[in-house]
């Protein structure tokens, strides 16, 4: 590893703490965000990352399924949600969900990542049937399904407690929960970017309840809109605090705001500098999180690859058919084949390891046979998407 070189003297005491394995404070976090000495911050994050994971970089073969984009929340940050009769509104019949899942399984998916809108008319039973149907058809595929925001909405429409709602989801087949909907926990920010959505405190409470019943989850932070550095640090430390309590978070994913087609389209896009800074600072502050994901869909494969030297140890997956970011103007592909993910990882000097959702290495010889070809083979995708 190259030697640490610090240009900004304010980073020196922080570097000492990191090298001694000491926990960083809120002030340290703010100093890390404020400095322009990105290489020093990146070096420190890479140091922590290599101590935990050596040279390994994880990826998975997954399939996103967004059952509906109809949503009553009308978050200003979002370009995905539609009114029931709005242009481009859709809701899949369960048959269409099975079809998409079958495509994913043919591709070798070990995970379905399922999130959608808060639909005013679909009953909770639709979502439970969806989960049961998937589990019945593909018991070996991990269901990472529905954010804390959707859980709260299901509880409201089904007139159930959060715990009973989560229990019903678990019984229907949910294996873990994705990290979306966290945005920035601070109420000042939520009032502007997602004023009708689950509060930050409620998001954390639902995550706590899920973890207590053995459901693990991811966590995210949406950066690059109207939030301050203090509000980002507060968000990260609230996650760290809950993780101390439950140890239920699996991975953290910093998400770059994409303004296009949203009510905040006047805002500029986050820069590559901000992307790498957020990866590195989260790796340094979240000392009790095992994994930091560089989600290539939103970072672009180019920045995600560099992030593997700035604290990230995971590139997420092949994805297939991403909608939330593409509705908001993302110019990345909707799919990256396995071979390309491996190439990105190898070229960054890391060793690719295919993982399942909970970061167990995947042994393909133990999985049911899939359509001929390697998992994530692009020829399979073009074939299946034309069905
Ligand atoms: O919750 C919505 C964000 C999230 C926009 O858990 C936007 O493994 C940027 O949570 N610009 C959904 N972001 C994505 C998500 C996720 C992604 C990958 C992996 C995992 C995981 C979770 O996307 C939303 C919201 O925070 N989002 N609109 C937008 N215009």
pLDDT digits (tens, 9 = 90+) for 230-263: 999 999 999 999 999 999 999 999 999 999 999 9
Instruction: Give the closest residue to 144 by CA, choosing from 317, 314, 348.
Output: 317
- SS3 of residue 171 by DSSP: helix
Q: Are 169 and 128 in contact (CB under 8 A)?
A: yes
Gap from CA of 40 to ligand 1 centroid (Å): 28
Q: What's the rounded Cα separation, in Å, for the pair 366 and 375?
A: 13
- SS3 of residue 71 by DSSP: coil
Residue 365: per-residue pLDDT: 82
Q: Topology of domain 9-383, per CATH?
A: TIM Barrel (3.20.20)
Gap from CA of 307 to ligand 1 centroid (Å): 18
Q: Is 79 in the pocket of ligand 1 (CB under 6 A)?
A: yes
Q: pLDDT at residue 367 above 80?
A: no
Long-range CB pairs of 312-315 (<8 Å, 24+ gap) are 312/49, 312/57, 312/279, 312/283, 313/49, 313/52, 313/53, 313/56, 313/57, 313/58, 314/57, 314/58, 314/59, 314/251, 314/355, 315/57, 315/58, 315/59, 315/341, 315/344, 315/345
Gap from CA of 324 to ligand 1 centroid (Å): 7
Q: Mean pLDDT, to the nearest integer, of 268-287? A: 97
C-alpha to C-alpha distances, 58 to 18, 53, 354, nearest whole angstrom = 24, 10, 6
Q: What's the rounded Cα separation, in Å, for the pair 302 and 37?
A: 21
Average pLDDT, the chain: 93
Q: Is 145 in the pocket of ligand 1 (CB under 6 A)?
A: no
Percent of the chain at pLDDT > 70 equals: 94
For the CA of 149, the nearest atom of ligand 1: 1
Instruction: Give the closest residue to 377 by CA, choosing from 107, 110, 109.
Output: 107
Instruction: Give the closest residue to 271 by CA, choosing from 259, 283, 286.
Output: 259
For the CA of 328, the nearest atom of ligand 1: 30
pLDDT digits (tens, 9 = 90+) for 213-231: 999 999 999 999 999 999 9
What DSSP designation does 300 have? -
pLDDT digits (tens, 9 = 90+) for 289-320: 999 999 998 899 999 999 999 999 999 988 77
Residue 330: per-residue pLDDT: 78
Q: Which residue has the least CA distance to atom 18 on ligand 1?
A: 295
Q: Are 198 and 148 in contact (CB under 8 A)?
A: yes
Structure tokens at 42: 């990146």
Enter the pTM of the model.
0.94
Domain range summary for the chain, segments of one domain joined by +: 9-383
Residue 369: per-residue pLDDT: 65
Q: Which residue has the least CA distance to atom 2 on ligand 1?
A: 78
Please report where in the chains the tokens 């990826």 appear, as a residue.
59
- Residue 363 burial (CB < 10 Å; 0-12/13-18/19+)? exposed
Gap from CA of 35 to ligand 1 centroid (Å): 27
Q: Is 18 in the pocket of ligand 1 (CB under 6 A)?
A: no
Instruction: Work out the widest C-alpha separation in the chain, in whole angstroms.
Output: 60
Q: pLDDT at residue 384 above 60?
A: no
């Amino acid at each position: 590893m190259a030697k640490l070189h610090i240009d900004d003297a304010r980073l020196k005491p922080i570097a000492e703490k990191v090298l001694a394995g000491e926990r960083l404070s809120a002030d340290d976090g703010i100093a890390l965000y404020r400095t322009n000495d990105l290489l020093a911050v990146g070096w420190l994050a890479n140091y922590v990352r290599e101590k935990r994971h050596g040279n390994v970089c994880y990826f998975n073969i997954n399939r996103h399924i967004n059952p509906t984009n109809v949503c009553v929340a009308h978050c200003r940050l979002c370009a995905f949600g539609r009114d029931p009769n709005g242009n481009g509104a859709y809701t899949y019949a369960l048959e269409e969900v099975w079809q998409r899942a079958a495509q994913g399984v043919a591709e070798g998916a070990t995970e379905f990542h399922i999130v959608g809108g808060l639909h005013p008319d679909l009953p909770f039973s639709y979502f439970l049937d969806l989960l049961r149907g998937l589990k019945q058809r593909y018991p070996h595929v991990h269901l990472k399904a529905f954010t804390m925001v959707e859980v709260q909405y299901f509880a409201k429409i089904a007139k159930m407690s959060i715990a009973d709602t989560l229990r019903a989801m678990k019984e229907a087949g949910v294996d873990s929960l994705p990290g979306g909907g966290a945005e920035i926990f601070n109420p000042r920010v939520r009032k502007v970017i997602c004023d009708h959505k689950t509060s930050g405190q409620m998001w954390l409470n639902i995550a706590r309840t899920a973890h207590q019943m053995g459901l693990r989850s991811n966590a995210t932070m949406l950066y690059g809109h109207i939030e301050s550095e203090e509000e980002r640090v507060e968000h990260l430390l609230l996650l760290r605090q809950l993780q101390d309590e439950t140890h239920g978070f699996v991975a953290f994913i910093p998400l770059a705001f994409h303004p296009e087609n949203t009510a905040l389209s006047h805002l500029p896009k986050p820069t590559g500098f901000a992307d790498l800074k957020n990866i590195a600072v989260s790796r340094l502050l979240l000392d009790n999180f095992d994994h930091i994901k560089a989600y290539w869909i939103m970072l672009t494969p180019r920045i995600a690859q560099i992030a593997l030297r700035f604290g990230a140890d995971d590139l997420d997956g092949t994805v297939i058919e991403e909608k939330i970011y593409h509705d908001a103007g993302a110019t990345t592909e909707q799919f990256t084949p396995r071979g390309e993910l491996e190439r990105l990882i190898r070229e960054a000097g890391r060793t690719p390891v295919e993982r399942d959702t909970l970061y167990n290495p995947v042994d393909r010889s133990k999985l049911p046979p899939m359509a001929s070809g390697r998992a994530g083979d692009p020829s399979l995708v073009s074939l299946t998407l034309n069905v």
